[in-house]
Amino acid sequence: MKKLIFITVIACGILACGNNSESSSTELGKSVFQTNCVACHLANGQGGVNGAKNLRESALTVKQRVNIITNGSEVNRTMVAYKTILSPKEIQAVAEYTTTFKK
């Protein structure tokens, strides 16, 4: 009986904690953005510093954003490649996070 109660408590604990990967991805993206991007793109994504693009007006897809974050921008050389600075997971998360900026 004690074993069954123990297993039930463990299972409930796991279910209660859950794995909300969308929320954790958003949190990771926000954290990466605040650490690496906010200096040029500003906290609300409106950009302007060093020729940074306004992310609130960007029509780029997540895939296109991943490419620019990974490899840098050919249009604005101050947007450097982050492929040696951030992990692929961090790059994906910040690319997705930047789509949350709206006018």
Decide if 12 is inside a domain. Answer: no
| Sequential DSSP letters for 40-72 | HH-TTS---GGG---TTT----HHHHHHHHHH-
- Domain of residue 51, residue span: 24-98
Number of domains within the chain: 1
Residue 56, domain CATH = 1.10.760.10
Task: Identify the CA nearest to 77 among candidates 57, 39, 50, 41.
Answer: 50
State pTM to two decimals. Answer: 0.76
pLDDT in tens, the chain (103 residues): 555 444 544 444 444 444 556 689 899 999 999 999 999 999 999 988 999 999 999 999 999 999 999 999 999 999 999 999 999 999 999 999 999 998 6
The DSSP symbol for 85 reads T
